[in-house]
Structure formats: structure tokens, C-alpha cells
Amino acid sequence: MPVPGDDDNERLTPTIPPPPMIESASGTRTRRVIAVGGGRGGVGKTLLTVNLGVYFAQLGREVVVCDTDPFGSNLHGVLGLETPPLVTSEALEEGKAKPVSTIVPGLRLLPTAYDPMTATPIRPNRGSHWARQIEKLDVDYVLLNLGASTTASTLDLFLQADVGICVTAPEPLAIETTYRFCRALYLRVLRRALTKERFKLRLVERVIAALPPLAPPPAIVAEIKRYDDGVAKVAAEEMLRVAAHLVVGQTRLRSDLDLGVSMSVIAERFLGISLENLGHIEHDDAVWLTVRRRQPLLIDSPTSKSARNIERVARRILALLAAQSTRGGALPPRAPATQQRAAALPATLYEVLGVPRTAADDEIRRAVKRQREIFREGSLPLCSVVAPEVLRQVQARIEEAHDTLLDPVRRRAYDLSTFPDDTPATVVPQRSSNAAQMAELAMLQAELAREINAETQFTGALLRKVRESQGIEITEIAQRTKINVAHLNAIENESFGDLPALVYVQGFVQQVAKHLKLDPAQVAKTYSRRLRDLSLGRARSSG
């Protein structure tokens, strides 16, 4: 299916098929649970939850969404329901509460429990009934809107989900809250691991109480190690079990688009926690307009920028779920606990920049620029995590890496002193991409292998899809081909009014095809034919 362009009449449709349905021994479907939380209120958790549900329902699957934080129940407001469906907690626990239909076929809303004696929601820490209710649902997808809560039950639901998503925004308070949520996840995992070990749990609690407030997990592990190596080993292993995904909402500036990747680097290095970036959602007037109309964004404004952003996030989630099914639900491997350092300072200059030892000078320069931006004074991703003295150390290491690795003589001397056995395979560089992106690219490439042949008619949407399947940003094509970014966007969006004469467009498309390793003649021929046909059709309709 095509990725939507700027045509107001074009509908947003999924671009890849969902993972195959899996049946359990009892013959029921194996549901996939996606939890959305991990940030302060107002950053877009409800927006993402509802529209992910819409996207999956458009795939023809059965989907249920629910508010697990009863004090912030508002999913009904964007699903066409005048009032929220409410039931008593007893009815919910007994399985008497049934999901209610919404304006979206295949998408239902699970009622929220409340206390009939006070007409207010039940306490959010009474959340065990949610897990039991979810187990009874014979559906393909369950989406949980956890709200801004960090109660034990909320953390448990997040940790038990197939995919847990933190939503943040490019502002200090939202970022700080996201990091706090990650810390809370770790402490919850550690406490659950030591529940039956009362004395060990008391040791951990005493250590945490003696540390500064909001101490990062690596610092907790290091402090525990001073008292008990066995407990420290458990604490380090549990740190590797915490894996969350990140979506950055309300992005406005170009620098906001890199926030998710930067926060992933900071979380991995300073918190010892995997926080993989799933994408961003642009600040868009279409969002608040659809809220006022009480409609999901993908229904009311499917061609908006924010809708396309959500579609890409959904696509990456599907790719993650498909990869989990292939691995039998196992998480991708992470670094061993022994490699987690409380000081958070990489061991080698290559690790400082996140590049391999074979990196060329151009790659090193780009890495230096990227690291300087992440670790500059006042950088948003550093909020509440990196102390000033540590920041100065990191900045000094970045400059040392720049001066050493870009000087051939100094680089050779450094390599000989650091790697005397000359075994580059033992050096593990910082990850440049995450599992979600890699899984998404693999699924797109597999689909395109079936879709592209000698008879393929290339459209702007298909060119965008090929570009995304190769992990190439449009700015990279602009730099290599010297074609204006506005013209490249117009080609992908088929905004023909923003393009020059046909002869120039043909040359542009040929250059884009070469960069994407496509047949330039076929791409230029079929795209130009499409441009002429659409232009002729519009001329006839206007005449």
C-alpha cells in the first residue's frame, strides 16, 4: 500500500502486513500487548494509543484499548463516545465487563473501574485486575494507556507488555520524567527479583537510601558491590532486563527529530537501560483539530504529517512483534553486566564516538559533530542525568578522540598502544541503530523484493518506501545529488505544482534512482508517465 502524500483525498493505509496470527493450544489467538506510558501528562500518550489501535484495526485485526490509570481516563473522548464506559471493580474482576464498540470497526474500548460509593475512580494501585482481564480477551492486540502514573501496578503492566513505549516531548520536564520512569522500572524489577530474599532486599534498600536522590542504576550496582558481590551480580543482571522504547511527541525544530536517538545514547550510557527510539510525532494543528472533533487522527486527518509519523511508529512496532515471534519472544541481546560502568565513560576513543576502528575520516568527523551536539552545555537529552563534572570529562574525551583519530600518526600510535594484539573484533562500538529500526528495514525490504519488478510503475510513495527501506534520509540524497530538499519532497509527495519543468524532473528522478540502486531508465519513464497523466487529468477536470 502507498504511503500517503499531500493529496487531501488520499486515505492513510498500512504499508506492511501485520505479523501472522498465532494460536495457542486452546485454539484462541495469542494477543500482543502494547503499553504506552512513561512521561508527564500532555505529551501525547492518548494520541499514540488511540491511533495505534486505529492502525491495527485497519489491518483487519481485533483490537482493544483501555485506560489503566482511572484518574486520566480519556480515550473515549477521541473515539466518538460521549461518556466513558464505567463498571465497578468487582464486575471487572469477575469478567462481566465487556469491551464496547467505537466508531472504528474492529476497535473496542474496555470499561474503566470505579468506586460506586464515591463516584470516583478506584485507586490506581489496585491494578492486578487489569492483568486478569487482559488474559481473558480473545483479540489480536491490546493497547494500554498507562497515563503518567508510576505506581507498582503501572510499572508491572509496562514490564509485562510485549512492547513498552515511553512518550516524551522536547522539553526539560518531560525528558526528566521519562528518565525517572526508566529508573522506576529498574527499581521495580530489582525489588521483584529480591522479593523472597528479605535480607538482600533490605541491603538494597539501605544502599539506595544512602545514595543521592535519583541515583542511576549503574551507581546503585557499584555501591551494592561494596557490600555483597552476589547481590550486585543480581542487580546488574536485572538492569539488563529493563528494555523500553521511546516516541518523542510535539516535535517542532529540526533538532527535536534527533532527540530520541540522543536520549537512547544517554539512557544506555548513564542509566544502563535500553531505551530504543521508535520515532517522533510532529507538532501539527491537525492533532488538536481532530481532538475537538472527537475523532482519531488517522480517521479525521490521515494525510497529515503527524499521521504519517504515527504510521511509521506503528510499522516499527509490527516489525518488533514479528521479530519477537521469530525469536520466540526473546529480547535482543544486550551488553554483559560486566561491561556496565558506573562512571559511564567509554573505554576507547572509538567507543566515545560510537564508530568502529575501521571508520574513515568522514565518518569520524560526522560522529564528532553528533557527539558534540549531544554533550553540549544545555543539551536537552542531558536533563537530570549528567552531572556538570561528568559532562566536562565527556566533552574532553570527545575532543581527544577528534584530535587523535583524525591525525594519521597519532591514530596509528593510539591503535598500537590500545590494541597491542591488533584484534578489532573484540571492540564493540556503540550501537548506531536499534532493533526496531533494523526490524522495520528488514520487513520493508522483504515487501519491496516482492513488489518491484520489470513491470513496476514507480510513484512518489514507492520511491519514499524504497528510501526508508534503506535507512536513507532525504537530506542525504540532497547532499549527494545536489538536488534541493524541497524538490525531493515534492517528488515523493507528488506535489507537481512545486516541481520545475518535466525535463528537469526526469533528471532529478534518474539521480534519485541511481542513489537508491534502482533502474534509472525504468523509474524516470514510469514516474514521468504518471506525472503527465495526473497533470492531464487535472487539466481536464479544471477545464
DSSP string, 380-428: GGGTTTS-HHHHHHHHHHHHHHHHHHTSHHHHHHHHHHH-TT--GGG--
Between CA 103 and CA 293 the distance in angstroms is 13
Residue 14: predicted pLDDT: 44
Give the C-alpha distances (Å, rounded to integers) separating 339 from 6, 203, 285.
Answer: 47, 23, 45
pLDDT recorded at residue 2: 36
Largest Cα–Cα distance of the chain, in whole Å? 84
The 3 state secondary structure assigned to 440-468 is: HHHHHHHHHHHHCCCCCCCCHHHHHHHHH
207: cell is: 544502599
* DSSP code for 42: T
107-109/100-101 β-pairing: antiparallel
pLDDT the model gives residue 93: 63
Span between the terminal Cα atoms of the chain, in Å: 31
Question: How many Cβ atoms from other residues are within 10 Å of residue 407's Cβ?
Answer: 12
Q: Note whether 322 and 442 are within 8 A (CB).
A: no
pLDDT at 122: 54
Give the C-alpha separation, 147 to 38, whole Å. Answer: 8
Record the cell numbers describing residue 238, joined without a space.
536485572
The pLDDT assigned to 382 comes to 93
pLDDT at 49: 95
- Among 275, 279, 267, 277, which Cα is nearest to 382's? 267
**DSSP state string for 193-229:** HTTT-HHHHHHHHHHHHHSPTT--HHHHHHHHHTT-H
Nearest residue to 288 (alpha-carbon basis) of 274, 263, 306: 306
Nine-digit cell string for 5: 502524500
Residue 17: what are its φ and ψ, rounded to 5°? -70, 155
- Give the per-residue pLDDT at 88: 65
> Taking Cα atoms as reference points, which of 262, 243, 263, 270 lies closest to residue 333?
243
CB 233 within 8 A of CB 147: no
Q: Are 178 and 38 in contact (CB under 8 A)?
A: yes
CA dihedral 35, 39, 41, 44 (to 10 degrees): -60
Q: What is the pLDDT along the chain (543 residues), one digit of tens a residue?
A: 333 333 333 333 444 444 444 444 444 567 899 999 987 888 999 999 999 999 999 999 999 999 887 666 788 888 888 777 776 666 666 666 788 889 999 999 988 766 655 555 555 445 566 777 788 888 999 999 998 888 888 899 999 999 999 999 999 999 999 999 999 999 999 999 999 999 999 999 999 999 998 899 999 999 999 999 999 999 999 998 899 999 999 999 988 989 999 999 999 999 999 999 999 999 989 998 988 888 999 999 998 999 999 999 999 999 888 887 766 555 554 544 434 444 456 779 999 998 888 889 999 999 999 999 999 999 999 998 988 999 999 999 999 999 999 999 999 999 999 888 655 444 444 444 466 777 777 777 888 888 888 888 998 888 988 888 888 888 889 888 889 888 998 898 888 788 888 888 889 999 999 999 999 999 989 988 888 887 776 666 665
Query: CA 5 to CA 50: how far, in whole Å?
Result: 22
Using CA atoms, how far apart are residues 109 and 102, in angstroms rounded to an integer?
7
Single out the residue of 175, 170, 166 nearest to residue 251, CA to CA. Answer: 170
